[in-house]
């Protein structure tokens, strides 16, 4: 076998000085040709179509050992890659899961009543209008970005005559991952031939995806202004998406072209663009087999393997500390660090790593480093506590009554939110047959004053107002202020009533309702 391979190599004008078989590969000690890159590529492509060496494939590699140049011919069994439709099935499944995710985002954006229903995340699957809008405003733009990313890889893999598959998309139910997909990948079924191919294949995907994500995001900013869905005064404790320098730059461009007229909720198309930037940054991390790992290996050679551990250390640091001044910690980085570690921190060398990369590709590599820096989001998802909050504390919550009996309890209502300014509150109680309730505010505690304001004070009416006709009490409280009131419960004489529960409700100006539940028991029936 070695003799026939040597003759084949020599027929392509390689000068073989010596040869041997080391048990795994054929080793040929050769003279260095004038144009190593072209000669090696000619040999690789010739071996790819050669049929005279049995059923197995032969892959060449070129290594330098001291002053010797060794051409390694590595046998590898042929694999049958069935021409099935797994790529198509995964594509359709990912369109479904991203549309499902988009439907959930759209229902929230559109303030659809369906989100108030039980099992709403399943109900949207049979709501044609919401499902279609989820496809149109999220799934379609996101899949265009991911598709451009993977087809960038595919195009350059084919350009370098590599055996590459069409993209495999990875669907994911939105209850597990909120974007409905874990991305996509292509399968390259042979070694990368040289540093140029390695950089081209690695850099093409993120750049192609970014070029689609930019207009998608600008379109989303425009739709945000056109639809003008106002941000709720209080949306409760909320999940927020972090930002990157690139995303902020696009927002500034959008503001110059079409200035915002108010504070509006971001359109789901913006979220699709944001996801595109996020995926771009993740893939450009210089670690393992990521796109950034390919680029780093082509630029730095074996030294690039150290970067994998640097990336893991930085991700662990951001898991617990975030980046001071830029964002809080994000636990998702720990999962990503583990994935990088277990999928492999080592990047194998290309088959031929001797020829130069060329200045133009070095510039492309530096551009991808800049893209990573500007698209990276230190805290992708974080929780912001609501600035509005009330605390209701009562002395008693269980009452045992005979007919005609009266009981009372002391209640404190504290505005412990962080929102500055007055908070206009209304207090009401549920109706219960044969039972009357009354509320009397005793005094108001002002956080900026040492003494409370009682009901005999002239300032009392600034904070408390009784609506006797509708049996409501209104309060004006700033952050840190509280009121102490008495709740009086009276059952009518000679009346009958069942054991029941009733709620004291405090409604804020944000339309949020805070409740405290009490229990009333008929002692006559005990």
Residues 121 and 29 in one domain: no
- What's the confidence (pLDDT) of residue 208? 97
Cβ-contact 463, 475 below 8 angstroms: yes
Instruction: Report the 10 Å Cβ neighbour count for 99.
Output: 27
**Is residue 46 in a domain?**
yes
Asked whether residue 254 is domain-assigned, the answer is yes
Closest C-alpha to 133, from 158, 118, 114 = 114
Residue 55 pLDDT: 56
- Is 514's pLDDT higher than 70? yes
Query: Which one, of 180, 183, 220, lies nearest residue 100 by Cα?
Result: 180
Alpha carbon of 73 to those of 18, 62, 235: distances in Å?
A: 14, 9, 64
The pLDDT value given to residue 247: 94
pLDDT of residue 325: 76
**Nearest residue to 241 (alpha-carbon basis) of 214, 217, 215, 205:** 217
Q: What is the pLDDT of residues 280-332, one digit of tens each?
A: 999 999 999 899 999 999 999 999 999 999 999 999 999 998 888 777 898 88
Q: How many domains does the chain have?
A: 3
* Pairing status of strand 513-522 against strand 398-401: parallel
Q: Which of 119-133, 224-238, 421-435 has the lowest mean pLDDT?
A: 224-238
Which range among 212-221, 386-395, 456-465, 490-499 has the greatest average pLDDT?
212-221
Q: Give the pTM.
A: 0.78
- Averaging pLDDT over each range in 38-47, 386-395, 513-522, which range is the top one? 38-47
Q: Which residue has the higher pLDDT, 394 or 324?
A: 394
Residues 238 and 134 in one domain: yes
DSSP 279-330: HHHHHTSSSTTSHHHHHHHHHHGGGGHHHHHHHHHHHHHHHHH-BTTTB---
pLDDT at 232 over 70: no
Q: Based on the domain organization, do 398 and 378 belong to the same domain?
A: no
At 448, which CATH number? 2.60.40.740
Gyration radius of the chain over CA positions? 34
Tally Cβ neighbours within 10 Å of residue 171.
20
Q: Which of 349, 365, 384 is the last residue of a domain?
A: 384
Distance between CA atoms of 4 and 1, rounded to whole angstroms?
Answer: 5
Same-domain status, 128 and 27:
no
Q: Which of residues 426 and 196 earns the better pLDDT score?
A: 196
Q: Identify whether residues 173 and 268 lie together within a single domain.
A: yes
Residues 146, 51 within the same domain:
no
Distance CA 264, CA 225 (A): 7
Residue ranges making up the domain that contains 266:
86-284+357-384
Check residues 269 and 456 and name the one with the higher pLDDT: 269
Q: How confident is the model at residue 250 (pLDDT cuts 50, 70, 90)?
A: very high
Domain-embedded: residue 323: no
Residues 151 and 189 in one domain: yes
Q: Say how far apart CA 99 and CA 102 lie, in whole Å.
A: 5
Q: What is the DSSP letter of 164?
A: B
The pLDDT tens digits of the residues spanning 68-123 come to 999 999 887 655 555 568 899 999 999 999 999 999 999 988 888 888 788 888 89
Q: Which two tokens stand for residue 412?
A: 């404190």
Q: Which of 424, 503, 409, 414 is nearest to 464 (CA)?
A: 424
Q: Report residue 28 as tokens.
A: 């040929």
Cα–Cα distances in angstroms (integers) from residue 159 to residues 197, 201, 406, 505, in the given order: 9, 9, 88, 68
What pLDDT is stored for residue 77 in this prediction? 61
What average pLDDT is seen over the chain? 87
**Model confidence at 238: pLDDT above 80:** no
Q: Do 362 and 475 share a domain, yes or no?
A: no
pLDDT at 52: 67
Residues 216, 149 contacting (CB under 8 angstroms):
no
**Mean pLDDT score, 357-383:** 92
Kind and range of the H or E run holding 359: helix 359-375
Q: Has residue 321 been placed in a domain?
A: no
In terms of domains, do 23 and 144 share one? no
Q: Is 406 helix (H, G, I), strand (E, B) or coil?
A: strand
Residue 225 lies in a domain: yes
**pLDDT of 158 higher than 60:** yes
- Per-residue confidence (pLDDT) for residue 198, from 0 to 100: 96
**pLDDT of 140 above 80:** yes
Is residue 145 located within the same domain as residue 272? yes
- 339 within a domain of the structure (yes/no): no
Query: How far is CA 423 from each of CA 385, 399, 415, 439, rounded to the nearest angstrom?
Result: 17, 31, 8, 19
For residue 43, the SS3 value is helix
Query: Is position 292 within any domain?
Result: no
Q: Are residues 57 and 120 in the same domain?
A: no
Residue with the larger pLDDT of the pair 207 and 464: 207
- Separation between Cα atoms, residue 524 and residue 526, nearest integer Å: 6
Contact by Cβ (8 Å): 258, 225: yes
Residue 246, pLDDT > 60, answer yes
138 or 465, higher pLDDT: 138
Q: Which tokens is 97 given?
A: 């899961």
Task: Write out pLDDT tens, residues 442-485.
Answer: 889 888 777 778 888 878 888 888 887 777 888 888 888 889 99
Quote the pLDDT of residue 436: 86
Distance CA 442, CA 286 (A): 65
Higher-confidence position of 55 and 446: 446
Check whether residue 50 and residue 104 sit in a common domain. no
Q: How confident is the model at residue 233 (pLDDT cuts 50, 70, 90)?
A: low
């Amino acid at each position: 076998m070695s003799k026939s391979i040597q003759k084949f190599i020599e027929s392509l004008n390689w000068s073989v000085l010596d040869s041997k078989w080391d048990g795994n590969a054929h080793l040929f000690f050769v003279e260095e040709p004038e144009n190593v890159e072209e000669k090696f590529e000619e040999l690789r492509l010739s071996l790819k179509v050669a049929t005279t060496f049995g059923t197995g494939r032969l892959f060449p590699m070129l290594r330098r050992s001291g002053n010797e140049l060794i051409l390694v011919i590595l046998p590898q069994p042929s694999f049958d890659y069935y021409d099935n439709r797994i790529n198509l099935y995964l594509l359709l499944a990912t369109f479904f899961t991203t549309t499902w995710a988009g439907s959930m985002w759209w229902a929230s954006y559109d303030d659809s009543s369906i989100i108030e229903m039980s099992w709403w995340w399943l109900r949207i699957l049979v709501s044609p209008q919401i499902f279609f809008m989820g496809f149109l405003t999220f799934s379609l733009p996101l899949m265009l970005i991911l598709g451009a990313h993977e087809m960038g890889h595919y195009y350059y893999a084919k350009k370098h005559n590599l055996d590459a598959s069409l993209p495999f998309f990875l669907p994911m139910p939105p209850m597990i991952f909120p974007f409905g997909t874990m991305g996509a990948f292509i399968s390259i079924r042979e070694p990368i031939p040289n540093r140029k191919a390695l950089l081209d294949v690695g850099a093409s995907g993120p750049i192609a995806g970014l070029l689609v994500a930019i207009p998608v995001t600008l379109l989303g900013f425009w739709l945000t202004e056109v639809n003008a869905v106002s941000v709720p005064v209080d949306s409760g404790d909320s999940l927020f998406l972090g930002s990157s320098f690139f995303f902020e730059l696009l927002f500034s461009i959008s503001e110059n072209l079409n200035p915002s007229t108010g504070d509006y909720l971001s359109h789901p198309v913006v979220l699709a663009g944001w996801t595109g930037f996020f995926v771009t940054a993740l893939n450009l991390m210089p670690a393992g087999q990521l796109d950034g790992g390919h680029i780093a290996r082509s630029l730095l050679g074996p030294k690039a393997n150290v970067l994998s551990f640097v990336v893991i250390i930085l991700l662990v640091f951001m898991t617990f500390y975030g980046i001071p001044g830029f964002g809080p910690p994000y636990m998702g980085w720990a999962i990503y660090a583990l994935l990088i570690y277990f999928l492999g921190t080592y990047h194998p060398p290309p088959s031929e790593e001797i020829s130069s990369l060329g200045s133009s590709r070095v510039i492309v590599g530096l551009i991808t480093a800049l893209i990573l820096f500007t698209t990276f989001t230190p805290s992708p998802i974080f929780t912001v506590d609501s600035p509005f909050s009330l605390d209701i504390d009562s002395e008693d919550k269980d009452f045992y009554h005979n007919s005609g009996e009266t009981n009372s309890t002391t209640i404190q209502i504290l505005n412990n939110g962080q929102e500055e300014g007055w908070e206009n509150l209304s207090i009401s109680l549920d109706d219960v047959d044969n039972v009357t309730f009354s509320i009397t505010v005793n005094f108001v505690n002002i956080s900026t004053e040492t003494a409370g304001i009682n009901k005999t004070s002239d300032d009392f009416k600034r904070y408390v107002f009784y609506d006797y006709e509708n049996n409501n009490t209104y309060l004006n409280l700033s952050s840190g202020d509280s009121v102490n009131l008495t709740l009086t419960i009276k059952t009518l004489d000679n009346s009958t009533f069942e054991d029941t529960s009733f709620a004291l409700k405090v409604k804020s100006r944000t339309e949020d309702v805070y409740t405290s539940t009490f229990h009333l028991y008929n002692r006559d029936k005990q």
